[in-house]
Structure 1
């Protein structure tokens, strides 16, 4: 992710997923921290990001079922 527009696109896409309560996206390092209901899956988050553009989230944070961390990349 290389620009503010990408950051806003990722934030908006993730916030629109039902069950997501909070999204924090940073560009350096490229990371998304998502607070979500247990029922929200990584596949659902990535599906929303895929619709928004060439973005994805990596592996879930193993220490918490409420947060998902991962890189976002624009291409």
Structure 2
């Protein structure tokens, strides 16, 4: 398991109040790619919120907490 030292995206947005356009686009693109990957594996993520998105030391994000996820058959 990877370690994400940056905390949650919620904390980052709360501290910074607003992301730059470049950073917002990076996070949005990574989020879309992550959700598309889950969808391709027939998995539905059902708890998307800033608190469940972690940021690593390089500014990249990862979705966490799959407790409400559902796998399609």
* TM-score normalised according to structure 1 size: 0.34
* TM-score normalised according to structure 2 size: 0.34
When you count strand as a share of all residues, which structure comes out higher?
1
